[in-house]
Amino acid sequence: MKDITPQQQKVLDCIQVYINKTGFPPTRADICRELGFKSPNSAETHLRALEKKGFISIESGASRGISINNPEITHLENEYPIVGLVAAGSPTLASENVEKVLNCPKGFFGSDFDYFLRVRGLSMKDAGIMEDDLIAVKKTQEIKNGDIVIARIEDEVTVKYFQRSAPNIIHLKPANEEFSDIEVNLEETELYIEGKSVGLIREN
Amino acid sequence: MKDITPQQQKVLDCIQVYINKTGFPPTRADICRELGFKSPNSAETHLRALEKKGFISIESGASRGISINNPEITHLENEYPIVGLVAAGSPTLASENVEKVLNCPKGFFGSDFDYFLRVRGLSMKDAGIMEDDLIAVKKTQEIKNGDIVIARIEDEVTVKYFQRSAPNIIHLKPANEEFSDIEVNLEETELYIEGKSVGLIREN
DNA sequence: CGTTATACTGTATAAATATATAGTATAATT
DNA sequence: AATTATACTATATATTTATACAGTATAACG
């Protein structure tokens, strides 16, 4: 997917908003009205550029024949993707990792959140986090000691309690006697915090 | 919402399928093609009937101005009460027991459910049920061994694993070593099953 | 310096589309 | 027996819409 220009982004956003609002895509004239253009050809050229770059598809000849490609990344309001514990490198929300989407009211857990993570393993069992549970993950770097974080150490993604023991030493603590602490020295090992848990859902 | 006729259902399905497939709603002519009608007015009259009955909305004058009124997303009937572990006698869902209500899509946990129960204590800790968790309770008497049930024994309400050991003997088993089994002899003691757990939510 | 991509206005028009009007026919309801 | 809702065909037409063509202007690229 090539780079998008600021104006093209505005047009793309406009299409998304229009679809969310009305349920069907805009015409060239609609886009002009929304963005203040005075000629339908302004919209037309932007649409053709977006199509060429792969952001949208246009059904030729059909009225309102615009559809947005990769809608799972710009997820609809209230639709949250469920992702598995994925290996590093691949972006967490890439469509190939999305198991399905779950309809959930915004602010369901008091705090905003970005996606659900499907839990593997029992390392957080004593915190009441069981296999196959869905953790509501908020992508943030604002972590306090004791928070349950989704951390990536080199190639592995895990869910653990966060504790900073020294400026450069972080302990990732499981909630299960059978597992042991992970000590991370930030000078030696790369640690990336994907976000923290703000809630949990169990389906059974 | 009034009754839908079989033909109207076919038209409604056709619209949904068309939107899923193309990303935008069909025209009258598209519907005719899909369903084998030979006049656009056939589609038109069905659309007007569906609009009158509330299943769809039609933006007048706009091409492809059809949108499906999806009651499951737009409905505000998805309000479920949260109740505490209330003593017997008082009806569980009486307003004085309702802490607050939580907006939650219907069928969120695969199965239907009736209310949320705020958990007190740690007797089901090893099942991943912690203090202050919300259990989605389905009011039912269809209980299998191993289900997590909300049971009332005389004056006490508890959440436990259900196990029928003999026709008249039921064991209510905690998931915590520090608690012990409750054996109920149905000939001696009154046991009422409020329902069973079909899901869990944790807010933090 | 010429070329190319972006970002527009303005006009024109063929094709797509909604929608009204005029019928036919059947089944259910009053 | 008359009315109403459903379920269509057939035709007509005003409006909507996509989209081509002709320009203007600016910034980036090699």
pLDDT digit string, tens, across residues A46-88? 999 999 888 899 998 899 999 988 644 333 456 677 777 644 3
pLDDT digits 0-9 by tens, B85-129 = 654 444 454 444 666 667 777 778 888 888 889 898 899 999 999
CB contact (8 A) between residue A103 and residue B103? no
Q: How far apart are CA B151 and CA B158, in angstroms?
A: 5
* pLDDT classification of A102: cutoffs 50, 70, 90: confident
* In the predicted structure, residue A105 carries a pLDDT above the cut 80: no
Helix or strand holding residue B203 (H, E): strand B191-203
- Please, which residues bridge with residue A116 across strands? A82, A136
Q: Which DSSP helix (H) or strand (E) runs through B161?
A: strand B156-166
Average pLDDT, chain B: 84
pLDDT of residue A159 exceeding 60, the answer is yes
Chain A: closest CA distance from residue B54 (Å): 16
Average pLDDT over chain A reads 83
Q: Does B199 touch chain A (CB under 8 A)?
A: yes
**So what's the pLDDT on residue B190?**
86
Instruction: Indicate the range of A28-32, A154-158, B43-47 predicted with least confidence.
Output: A154-158
Q: Which of A99 and B145 is assigned the larger pLDDT?
A: B145
Q: What is the arithmetic mean of pLDDT over A25-46?
A: 93
Q: Is A39 a catalytic residue?
A: no
Structural domains of chain A, with CATH: 6-68 (1.10.10.10), 79-201 (2.10.109.10)
Q: Which residues are within 7 Å of strand D by their Cβ atom?
A: A 27-30, 40-41, 43-44, 58, 60-66; B 5-8, 32, 36-42, 45-46, 49, 61-65
Per DSSP bridges, beta strands A79-83 and A115-118 are parallel
Q: Does B73 contact A202 at a Cβ distance shorter than 8 Å?
A: no
Most B CBs within 10 A among A64, A72, A123, A178, hence the mutation to make, goes to A64
Q: Does A130 touch chain B (CB under 8 A)?
A: yes
CA-closest candidate to residue B27, choices A59, A62, A58? A62
Q: What pLDDT is recorded for position A13? A: 84
Check pLDDT > 80 for residue B155. no
Residue B179 banded pLDDT, cuts 50, 70, 90:
very high
User: Is the per-residue pLDDT at B160 higher than 80?
Assistant: yes
Residue with tokens 């603590």: A173
Q: Which nucleotide is nearest to B45 (CA to C1')?
A: D7
The Cα–Cα gap between B166 and B181 comes to: 15
First to last CA, chain B: 38
A123 is catalytic: yes
- For chain A, the three-class secondary structure string (H helix, E strand, C coil) is CCCCCHHHHHHHHHHHHHHHHHCCCCCHHHHHHHHCCCCHHHHHHHHHHHHHCCCEEECCCCCCCEEECCCCCCCCCCEEEEECCCCCCCCCCCHHHEEEEEECCCCCECECCCEEEECCCCCCHHHCCCCCCEEEEECCCCCCCCCEEEEEECCEEEEEEEEEEECCEEEEECCCCCCCCEEEECCCCCEEEEEEEEEEEEEC
How far apart CA A75 and CA A113 sit, in angstroms, is 13
Q: What is the pLDDT of residue A78?
A: 63
Task: Report residue B166 as tokens.
Answer: 């003999």
The amino acid occupying position B26 is: P
- Between CA A169 and CA A163 the distance in angstroms is 9
Q: What is the pLDDT of residue B79?
A: 63
